[in-house]
Amino acid sequence: MDKVKTDYGEILDDKSRDEVEIDLLEILKALKNKIMFILAAGLLAACISGAFTHFAVTPMYQSMSSILVLSKETTLTSLADLQLGTSLTSDYTVLIKSTPVLEQVIENLNLDISYEELKAKTTITNPTDSRILEITVEDADPILAKKIVDEIAEVSSDYIGDKMEVIPPKIIETGKIPVVRSSPSVKKNVLLGFVFGAFVCAALIAVNAIMDDSLKTEEDIVKYLDTSVLAVVPDRKDYVNYSKRRNRRH
């Protein structure tokens, strides 16, 4: 008996010195056997993420106003000098988010926020091949978001006309009161939660399969111990269960 234990220990020691190989087929098999656990973990994480997004995260709303950079009153000279409005759109973008404009908006609406906070709420975009600037304001209050974006458009139009000594840009669209939240997206967070939960569960199962060095089948003995199997002892539990089923039939 001691001789058998010694030989088995020597075999294990020799195997431990070898480089550990990761059997991808075994990992895939382990993942397949635990697929229901992976899906359950993904669904649980998705539910938690969706509930947290819906009840704990403050929804944000966006309202947009747009102004026309170049109107028909703009002279041909200015069009040539400013390369058909390309430079104007860049200048207007800077001026709209400038300190004097935003501070005037804060004063007019009596907002309890700083210039930096209002600037962070404001986004200006220029649609491709257009002479239009879109001003977007995001806030937790949809009504306040509309008021702010309309005020920014009004104040910036007057400010640009005064400082650049040009015809003020025309407001072609005022903001609307948003009814749908812009962020966070419940659907997106639910999907991310499902992917995260399933990934974490799959990773744990894969790590457990890699770290599990126990021998479960005859093939494992041949593969890892490099020895043949002389005999197989039946599992006593299987025999007892088989006997019980047989007795019930009789």
Q: For the chain, which residues make up each domain, given as ranges?
A: 16-54+185-215, 61-173
Distance CA 146, CA 148 (A): 5
Q: Which residues contact 183 (CB under 8 A, 6 or more apart)?
A: 59, 60, 138
* Non-local CB neighbours of 195 within 8 Å, separated by 6+ positions: 42
Structure tokens at 71: 């109107």
**Contact (Cβ atoms closer than 8 angstroms) between residue 36 and residue 45:** no
Whether the predicted pLDDT of 85 surpasses 60 = no
User: 40: closest CA among 160, 169, 200?
Assistant: 200
Lowest mean pLDDT among 33-37, 72-76, 96-100: 72-76
Residue 242: pLDDT band (50, 70, 90) is low
% of the chain exceeding 90 in pLDDT: 44
Tell whether the model's pLDDT for residue 75 goes beyond 80.
Answer: no
- In tens, the pLDDT along 123-181 reads 999 887 677 899 999 999 999 999 999 999 999 999 988 888 778 888 999 999 998 88
Give the DSSP H/E element, type plus range, for residue 61: strand 61-68
- pLDDT above 50: residue 5: no
Give the C-alpha separation, 135 to 66, whole Å.
6
Q: How far apart are CA 135 and CA 68, in angstroms?
A: 11
Q: Is 173 helix (H, G, I), strand (E, B) or coil?
A: strand
Average pLDDT along the chain: 79
Q: What share of the chain is helix, strand, coil (3-state, %, to 5)?
A: 60, 10, 30
Determine the angle formed by the axes of helices 35-55 and 186-211, rounding to 10 degrees.
150
Query: Quick one: pLDDT at residue 26?
Result: 80
Q: What is the pLDDT of residue 29?
A: 86
pLDDT at 87: 67
Q: Quick one: pLDDT band at residue 232, thresholds 50, 70, 90?
A: low
Task: Just give the CATH number of 61-173.
Answer: 3.30.70
Coil vs helix vs strand at 34: coil
Q: From CA 75, how far away is CA 86, in angstroms rounded?
A: 15
Per-residue pLDDT of 13-24, as tens digits, reads 444 444 445 678
pLDDT value at position 168? 85
| Burial class of residue 171, CB neighbours in 10 A (0-12, 13-18, 19+) | middle
As a whole number of angstroms, the distance between CA 226 and CA 248 comes to 43
pLDDT recorded at residue 165:
78
Tens of pLDDT, residue by residue over 173-226, are: 999 999 888 888 889 999 999 999 999 999 999 888 888 766 666 666 666 666
- Can you tell me whether residue 124 is helix, strand or coil? strand
Torsion of CA 96, 99, 105, 108, to 10 degrees: -140
